[in-house]
Structure 1
Amino acid sequence: MNLYPIDAGNFKLDGGAMFGVVPKSIWQRTNPADSNNMIDLATRCLLVEDGNRLTLIDTGMGNKQDDKFFGYYYLWGALNIDKSLAKYGFHRDDITDVLLTHLHFDHCGGCIQWNKDRTGYEPAFKNAKFWTNKKHWEWATKPNVREAPSFRKENLSPMEISGQLHFVGVDEGSTLVKTNLGFDVMLVDGHTEKQMLPIIKYKGKTGVYVADLVPTLGHLPIAYVMGFDVRPLLSLEEKERFLKMAVENDYLLVFGHDAHNEVCSLTQTERGVRHDQTYTFAEVFA
C-alpha cells in the first residue's frame, strides 16, 4: 500500500462560522483571519494505492461552478486535483474508487464535471465507483433546510444516473464499518448524518482522515466545533470519544481542511488532548 496527499485547491471561509461559539480572540491564535474575517482552508484529499486498486478519498469542490459561486469562497493558490495526481504519476482515469466522507460540495464537488461538449454534467472519474452510505445518501438527497445549500443536486444526481454510485454497508448502531477498500471507516453524526472517517493502517502506523470532525489543527479542543454542524452537542461527544481513542492508539490525524498543517500526533495534557507534533505527509507516510 502507498498513500499520497492530493491537494484539490485552497479557499477561504468565515472564521466565525468555522469555530461556532468560540470567540475570535481565541481561534485567531491558531487560524489567523484576514481583513474580511476569512481564514485559510484546504481541500486536501487522500489517495490510497493498494495493489490494482486506486482509491481517492474526497475530491474537493471541483471546477464546474460559475464565478459567482466561487466568489463566495475566495479561491487562492495554484493547486488542483489533476496537478496533484500527476505529481505522483497518476491521472483521474486511473482512479478505481472514490470514497466520499460526506456529500457536502467541498468534499464531493470534484466527482462531477461539465462535459467538454457542454451538454451536461458527467462523472469526472469515468472508471471509478463512488462510495457513500445509504443513510447519508438519503439525508443528502432529501436535505434539511440548513444543509440544503451544501448538498447540490448537480453533484449528486450524475453519480446515480451513471450507475457509478455504490453504498458501504452500515449495520444499525455500528460506529466502525469494514469496507472492501482496504481500510475501515468510523461513522460520526454531529456534522452531518453518517459522515465516514477512513482509518488506514500503514507500515505500523495508523492514520485517520478526520474530515469535518476535526477540520484543522485549531479545532482540537473539544468545544471548538463548527457553526455548520447540525448536531453540535453530539459533535462534542464524538470528538471527545475519538480523541481519547486516538491518544490511546497513537493515531496520526490527517487534516482535510488545514491549509498549513497536514498531519499531527497527539498527547494528553491537563487541558485535554492536544497536538504533540505536526508533520508533513511525507515525513510519516513515505
Structure 2
Amino acid sequence: MNLYPINAGNFKLDGGAMFGVVPKSLWTRTNPSDANNMIDIAARCLLIEDGNRLILIDTGMGNKQSDKFFGYYFLWGNDTIDNSLKAHGFHRDDITDVFMTHLHFDHCGGSVQWNNDRTGYEIAFKNAQFWSNKNHWQWATNPNNREKASFLKENILPIEDSGHLKFTSLPESNILKNSELGFDIFFANGHTEKQMIPMIQYKDKTICFMADLLPTAGHIPLPFVMGYDTRPLLTLDEKEKFLNLAANNNYYLFLEHDAHNEIITVQHTEKGVRLKDVYTTYDIFN
C-alpha cells in the first residue's frame, strides 16, 4: 500500500464560524486570522494505492461553481486535484473509488464536473465507484434548512444518476470493521449525519483521515467546535472518544483542513488530550 496527499486547493473561512463559541483571543493563538477575520483552510485529500485499487478520499470544492460562489471563499494557491495527481504519476481516469466522508460542498464538489458542452453535469472520475452511506445520502438529498447551503444538488444528484453510487454498511456502534474498502470507518454524527472517518492501517501505523471531526490542530481542545456543526454537544462526545483512542493508540491524524499542519499525533496531559507531534506527509508516507 502507498499513500499520497492530494491537494485540491486552499481557501479561507471565517474564524469565528470555524471555532463557534470560543473567543477569538484563544483560537487566534493557533489559527491567526487576516484583517477580515478569515483563516487559512486547506482541502487536503488522500489517495490510497492498494493493489489494483486507487481510492481517493474527498475531492475538494471542484471548479464548476460561479465566480460569485468562489468569491465567498477567497481561493489562494495553485493546487488542483489534477496537478496533484499528476505529481504522483496518476490521472483522474485511474481512480477506481472515490470515498466521500460527507457531502458538504468542500468535500465532494470535485466529484462532479460540467460536461463538454456545459449543458449538464457528469462524474469527474469516470471509472470510479463513489462511496457514501444511505443515512447520510438521505440527509443530504433532503437537507435541513441549516445545512441546505452546504448540500448542493449539482454535487450530489449526478453521482446517483451516473449509476456509480455505492453505499457502505452502517456500524453497530461507532466503528465499522473490515469495510468494503479495506479500511475501518469511525462514524460521527455531530457535524452532520453519519460523517465517515477512515482509519487506514499503513505499515505499523494507523492513519486517520479526520475530515470535519478535527478540522485543524487548533480544534483539539474539546470545546473548540465549529459553528457549522449541527449537533455540537454530540461533537464534544465524539471528539473526546476519538481523541482518547488516538492518544491511547498513537494514531496519526491526517488533517484535511489545516493549511499548515498535515499530520499530527496527540497525547494525554493534565489539561486533557493535547498536541504531541507534527509531521509532514513526506515524513510518514516515505
Deviation at 1:58, TM superposition (A): 0.2
- 2:259 maps to what in 1? 259
* Aligned counterparts of 1:207 and 1:183: Cα–Cα separation in 2: 10
* Aligned counterparts of 1:231 and 1:119: Cα–Cα separation in 2: 38
SS in 2 for 1:238: helix
1:19-34 to structure 2, matched below 5 A, reads: 19-34=19-34
What TM-score do you get using the length of structure 1 for normalisation?
0.99
* Aligned counterparts of 2:154 and 2:242: Cα–Cα separation in 1: 33
1:1-286 to structure 2, matched below 5 A, reads: 1-171=1-171, 173-177=172-176, 178-286=178-286
SS in 2 for 1:149: coil
SS in 2 for 1:125: coil
1:225-269 CA-partner distances (Å, limit 9, x unpaired): 000000000000000010001111110100000000000111111
SS in 2 for 1:257: coil
RMSD: 0.7
SS in 1 for 2:149: helix
What TM-score do you get using the length of structure 2 for normalisation?
0.99
SS in 2 for 1:86: helix
* Aligned counterparts of 1:131 and 1:118: Cα–Cα separation in 2: 25
SS in 2 for 1:150: coil
* Aligned counterparts of 2:179 and 2:90: Cα–Cα separation in 1: 24
* Aligned counterparts of 1:218 and 1:118: Cα–Cα separation in 2: 40
Deviation at 1:175, TM superposition (A): 1.2
Deviation at 1:149, TM superposition (A): 0.5
Deviation at 1:87, TM superposition (A): 0.6
* Aligned counterparts of 2:284 and 2:47: Cα–Cα separation in 1: 15
Query: Aligned AA for 1:175?
Result: N
* Aligned counterparts of 1:238 and 1:271: Cα–Cα separation in 2: 18
List gaps (5 residues or longer) in structure 2: none
1:46-92 CA-partner distances (Å, limit 9, x unpaired): 00000000000000000000100000000000001000000100000
Query: Aligned AA for 2:18?
Result: M
List gaps (5 residues or longer) in structure 1: none
Deviation at 1:275, TM superposition (A): 1.1
Deviation at 1:174, TM superposition (A): 2.4
Deviation at 1:44, TM superposition (A): 0.4
1:92-141 CA-partner distances (Å, limit 9, x unpaired): 00000000000000000000001122221100000000000000000000
* Aligned counterparts of 1:87 and 1:58: Cα–Cα separation in 2: 18
The alignment-based identity, stated in percent, is: 65
* Aligned counterparts of 2:115 and 2:261: Cα–Cα separation in 1: 34
Q: Which runs of 4+ in 1 moved over 3 A?
A: none
* Aligned counterparts of 1:274 and 1:4: Cα–Cα separation in 2: 26
1:179-210 CA-partner distances (Å, limit 9, x unpaired): 22121111000000000000001110111001
* Aligned counterparts of 1:162 and 1:183: Cα–Cα separation in 2: 25
Q: Give the aligned length.
A: 285
1:17-36 CA-partner distances (Å, limit 9, x unpaired): 00000000000010000000
* Aligned counterparts of 1:48 and 1:189: Cα–Cα separation in 2: 25
